[in-house]
Amino acid sequence: MTIVTRFAPSPTGRLHVGNIRTALHNWMLAKQAGGRFLLRIDDTDADRSREEFVDAIRSDLGWLGLASDGEERQSDRLAGYQAAFDTLREAGRVYPCYETQQELELKRKIRLGRGLPPIYDRGALELGDAERAAKEAEGITPHWRFKLDHGEAISWHDGIRGPQKFDPAQLSDPVIRRADGSWLYMLPSAVDDLAMGVTNVLRGEDHVSNTAVQIQMFGALIAAGDGAAQMPRFAHEALLVGKEGKLSKRLGSLGCDAFRERGFEPQAIVALLARLGTSLPVEPIADRGALLETFDLATFGRAPAKFDEAELERINAALVHQMDHAAVADRLPAGMDAAGWHAIRPNLALVGEAAEWWRLVTGPIERREFADEDRAYLAEAVRAFGQLEWRHDDIRAELWKTFTQVLKRETGRKGKQLFLPLRQALTGMDHGPDMGELLPLIGETRARERLEQAAQG
């Protein structure tokens, strides 16, 4: 059987880090098995859905490399929901309710006060035809609930949580349609999963009780059909929390737009989120094939997964240090060739920092103040510099080594006393790229001028 997964965001905002993790894991679950990953835009909430967010979702998934194998929009599938609703109504599995929100809240408080679970009391089922007609004559339009079967426990084997079991009598009959005719999440999602051939539903653990309810919906829809449809398998992963161990509102603001603005590589986000919350080590793995080979729901833990931006920064820096020049050439400052990238790359946490480091080559650099003895030493360096050969690449590669060996022999300096004043004079900094690679990039003319200026003070 071909594995089919889906990612079903609502276009009411940008994707955040929790959404991205869910999309990634569904993509990985499908691709590992050679299956299909579908994008379903859950845009039944017409008041809050925005086309700009639909475009942003597609763009974000594209940036992350999570291309879908097909796309559906719930706003195009309304006729199917109506047909399913009519079928369930005829089967006695949906019923109209007339309570206001205030009346429902009062009922909930009364049940809590009596030590009962705060679920719907099914009061609407006690109404006769005349009572329902009277309410509608008063202009009260009903909302609609799915009637759960209280006969048997709802159970399934969860791909992450293991055996799950719910007493349907302890669950509220869920509202599936509002009084204005609009749809809530439950029924359209089940209808679409069956119609789209979704085999595996992987989502957050906050949906566990929804799954219990939807299993009965799936059963009722399959029974009313030709019996060919199959109920998906379910898995619920632990939710993300902040590094403090608490649910963080900040996680809701961390999305692809924020990650892009800060200069993170999409593969760093993928490498982190692919294994976050599993028993596998989070490593700077650029090869998605390697990530797919080790993807296994059995490695997912039950404890909340902690998202730490410092860990993302670590992974990003390590991946940047692995990237070759061709992969980043279009993002580098003018003039930075492969040699320049190789020299500067180890100092970068983000590719976007390359321009600042490249300034050490092109200038201007910070003018440093030197003590008299260091200025005298730098004057010796100017004289030694004039003895260097710059004609061939094999000679250029040894320039720094030759230069410092001459100065060591002529001045007796070594270690930090030998190297630091030279670095400061040539780059204006106390640390940075390897000077053996940097000196040929600075070039003979610029390097001589910087040494002369430093020696003069």
Binding-site residue ranges:
249
Binding-site residue ranges for ATP:
249
Give, to the nearest 10 degrees, the angle between helix 354-362 and helix 435-442.
60
Rounded Cα–Cα distance for residues 452 and 457 (Å): 9
Structure tokens at 441: 């990039």
Q: How many CA atoms lie within 13 A of 284 on its CB side?
A: 16
- Phi and psi (nearest 5°) for 259? -65, -40
Q: Which residue has the tokens 């603001």?
A: 253
Residue 284 near residue 268 (C-beta atoms within 8 A): yes
